[in-house]
Amino acid sequence: MPSYDQSLQDRLSLAAEAKQNLLAKFKKNADPNTPEAIEKRREREAIAAARVERQKQRELARREHEAELARQAKIAAEAAAEAERLAAEQAAAEAAAKAEHESAAKEALEAEQKAARDARYAARKAAKKKRRRGY
């Protein structure tokens, strides 16, 4: 450790020497042809190339994932359309069966009403005939 009773000239020379050391260090780091700089540049280029490769792989994986999702969505849409078609067919069949049942019930009711009407008519005719003949 330097003593505190240095002269002005000693302090100036130490400051100039420190400046020269800093300048030499900067020049050494700034020179692109030194082996250390070349090695660092190669490392940075390798890292950048690896980064680009990883990005390409992620993009490829993302596209494959999107294609898989699209395929699954298509399958799900086809299944939903098939289920909807089957439900519509079932609803149509149920509606047809219900209409047929209602039609049959209506025909049976009409036949019953006609039979009752015919019976009343026949009873009236018979009563009228009985009154006319005096039975």
Domain boundaries, the chain: 8-106
DSSP for the chain? ---S---HHHHHHHHHHHHHHHHHHHHHHH-TTSHHHHHHHHHHHHHHHHHHHHHHHHHHHHHHHHHHHHHHHHHHHHHHHHHHHHHHHHHHHHHHHHHHHHHHHHHHHHHHHHHHHHHHHHHHHHHHHHHHHT-
Residues 27-47 pLDDT 10s? 776 777 878 888 989 999 999
Residues 6+ apart with CB under 8 A from 31: 37
The reported pLDDT for the residue numbered 121 is 94
- Which range, of 12-16, 44-48, 75-79, averages the lowest pLDDT? 12-16
Radius of gyration of the chain from Cα atoms?
Answer: 53
| Whether the model pTM is above 0.85 | no
* C-alpha triplet 122, 120, 131: angle, nearest 5°: 55
